Structure 1
């Protein structure tokens, strides 16, 4: 084996060892940075936005000083976002949902009651004026409106009976 061959083999072996050392060092550094990042993420608990910022920061940073500064900035941003969500956004959202539910229930209930009262009042007026009010009509009204409106039959001293719709309290 010549000196040239020995030198080439030594150079290749040294290069392989250096590359392995660099790969191991980078792997350890990445694992360490990721571990620190994950720990801080679990402590801050802000969500995916901060996770993305932390991962990007961990990938970009190369020295411990830059890593520390990045983590501090990230924690500050995370704290601000968490405070904003906790103090401002969540209560406003809850209040809006409650108001929406209340408003919707009031509108639906009012619409149903108004519909029943208007339709049946018109029917009763027409039938009352034409002399067509009878017991079957009264029974039908009591079935339809039993949950919301009380139907009372008023029998004055007149020839035709009249019907009065009274909204239940």
Structure 2
């Protein structure tokens, strides 16, 4: 029960975050095994430091990771067959900050049976792509955007 700031939260995710932690080999690949998080104890209101581990953070991120996997699977289920064949051959390209979550690329590959690649510049790839769509707005008409 510790309230932490956004910067601390982001540092914890970057240093310890993982899509899953199934074995000690994965744990040993991490440079950082624990993190001393400083924040405010929600019970006492006083400043407090706790030590958290990578498996604890992986568990905390599990719902979000499952949501990402569900969205990818739903997208693939709605993909036209000819495009699905291309994706099977070339793989999935992940972009954005979430793509950098330790082990997410491997988990997506494992769950979909497809190769997974991380974009060359994942933090800026989404903005660059959006800019390209705005440069040619007709491309957007070819994309099915719906909330179900």
**What is the TM-score of this pair, normalised by structure 2?**
0.23
More strand by share: 2
Bigger Rg over Cα: 1
**What is the TM-score of this pair, normalised by structure 1?**
0.21
Which structure has more relative contact order (CA 8 Å, sep 6+)? It is 2
